[in-house]
Copies of this chain bind each other. A is one copy, B any other.
Amino acid sequence: MEDFLHPDRFFSPDPGQRSIARDLYEGVKNLPLVCPHGHVDPRIFADPEYRFGSPTELFLVPDHYIFRMLYSRGVQLEELGVPDREGKSSFDPRRAWQIFADHFYLFTGTPSGIWLRDELANVFGISGKLHSGNAQEVYDQIDKKLHSPDFSPRSLFARFNIEVLCTTDAAADKLEFHKAIQSSGWDGRILPTFRPDTVVNLDTPGWINHIHKLEEAAGIAIADFKAFISALEERRGFFKSMGAAATDHAALTAQTLDLSDLEMETIFQRALKGKSNKEDAAAFTTGMLVEMARMSIDDGLVMQLHVGSLRNHNAEIYRKFGLDKGADIPVTSEFTRSLKPLLDRFGNHPGLTLILFNLDETTYARELAPLAGHYPALRIGPPWWFHDSLNGMRRFFDRVIETAGVYNTVGFNDDTRAFPSIPARHDVWRRAACDWAAGQVVRHIIDREDAEQIVEALSYSLAKQAYNL
């Protein structure tokens, strides 16, 4: 396996740097995994007997990183078992796996290729590239393991050495699975995260139904903006009581506006009547971001903001298959002017931690690092999505640290729904951090002592501290 997964992988070829990187990595590779943001389904931990399905259902069907690439080269989503909008799919898992193997070369040099290789080797003991010839044999090997108790989610959670795993949950979610986990006596720490996007974004399809669910969950009739806010506060309180450390917010832009209650109420009333328009939705989001910052100061939940993804870009794919099908495409982001209204109110408040993520790397050195290097309330999240990659991490370190320093960042988020890929993702980050720090040492920018502190912080304690975990 050493040949397949080289122990020095992702380190500089320079012997001096490599040697230091290796030493640094030795010090952090076995630290527990802190996972403050991700999309793993809590259901898989609620039932101790839960088993993942076939290899195809584990690796392909839920992973839009994978099937988007196959789709780009002519494979149809139907062939891979991706369910349609109604959740229906009809496919042959072995045939789908064969197609995956036939196209495995497409992932050469991509993060997906790296994670898959690591997962196959370290989780399933398969030390060789997947290809047309070994596809069915590999399928059999994985399939067999997936039926064993050693490969239940709870077993893997323990084996992966996960200290805490945060899920992402809708505002109206009753957190039944989290309750079941907590009452089961299992000691795995699975925490919810409050994500109110469907009720905050007025243009969510079926928005009013989400409001009804929120009413029901909060036990508050939502006839006006004030009640809406009360309902959100109630839910945040409930999430917090269930162990939540943070909230999460998605927006196309980082625009914030400190709108008056009257302005918000006016828009909200239009929305309740089904008469709000696109401009209303955009304005409401800008105001709600400020409102959410206020609530974070009140209840201490850390606020995460993910901006810059234009969702569901491919109209036909969206119509047929719905959300999260690999067709979310980044756009430019702006923070300096956009965040000013929020920061004018709360940027100097010691009680706010606002963690920023986006997909426009030009903002790293130009806006995010100068902002986070000044405002007490701001922190910079790790490279997100397409930039959760070796080059993405290198660019992040190169562009962020000089101006923001290490301690205005928050370590790593795996941000994945692919549970078995979690160790591989953290390992890439830890290796990238160690190699970057080693590069600073051999250039005599920092010393060994600094480097050891930095890689420990990036691998473990920054995430724990930033999210109060």
Taking a contact as CB atoms under 8 Å apart, the answer to whether A365 and B376 are in contact is: no
By a CB distance below 8 angstroms, the chain B residues around A365 are 361, 386-387, 392
With an 8 A cutoff between CB atoms, is A48 at the interface?
no
Nearest CB of B to A8, in Å? 7
Q: Pick out which of these stretches binds chain B: A148-156, A163-171, A329-337.
A: A329-337
Residues of B within 8 A of A391 (CB): 398-399, 402
A225, CB-defined interface residue at 8 Å: no
Check A336 against B313 for contact (C-beta < 8 Å): yes
| A155 CB, nearest partner CB in chain B, Å | 29
Q: Establish whether residues B386 and A72, one from each chain, have CB atoms under 8 Å apart when the complex forms.
A: no
Q: Are B408 and A329 closer than 8 Å at their CB atoms?
A: no
Q: Which residues of B contact A371 (CB under 8 A)?
A: 313, 329
Nearest Cβ on chain B to A135's Cβ, whole angstroms: 18
Asked whether B337 lies within 8 Å of A331 as measured between CB atoms, the reply is yes
Given contacts A343-B314, A445-B9, contact A107 B405 (CB under 8 A): yes
Chain B residues whose C-beta falls within 8 Å of the C-beta of A262 in the assembled complex:
none
Of the stretches A175-183, A202-210, A436-444, the one at the interface is: A436-444
A109 x B406 contact (CB < 8 A):
yes
Q: Are A109 and B405 in contact (CB under 8 A)?
A: yes
- Residues of B within 8 Å of A440, CB to CB, are 109
**Oligomer copy total:** 3
CB within 8 A of A389: which of B17, B69, B326, B402? B402
Cα–Cα, bound, A439→B443 (Å):
14
Taking a contact as CB atoms under 8 Å apart, the answer to whether B108 and A366 are in contact is no
A157–chain B nearest beta-carbon distance, Å: 28
A16 interface hit (Cβ, 8 Å): yes
Judged by a CB distance under 8 angstroms, whether A185 is at the interface is: no
Determine the chain B residues whose CB is within 8 A of the CB of A336 once the complex forms. 310, 313, 329-331
Chain B residue numbers with a CB within 8 Å of A403 are 110, 386, 389
Contact A332 B331 (CB under 8 A): no
Contact with B along A342-363 (1 / 0, CB 8 A): 0110011010000000011110
Digitize A307-318: 1 where CB-to-B-CB distance is under 8 Å, 0 elsewhere. 000100111110
Contact (Cβ within 8 A) A340 B367: no
User: Smallest CB-CB separation from A392: which chain B residue?
Assistant: B402
Which residue of chain B is the closest to A317 with respect to CB atoms? B348
Which residues of chain B have C-beta atoms less than 8 A from A348's C-beta? 314, 316-317
Q: Does A275 contact B (CB under 8 A)?
A: no
Interface string of A1-22 (1 = CB under 8 A from B): 0000110111111101100000
**Given A10-B445, A110-B405: 10 more A-B contacts, CB < 8 Å:** A69-B373, A72-B374, A73-B376, A74-B350, A108-B405, A110-B402, A310-B336, A329-B336, A330-B370, A390-B402
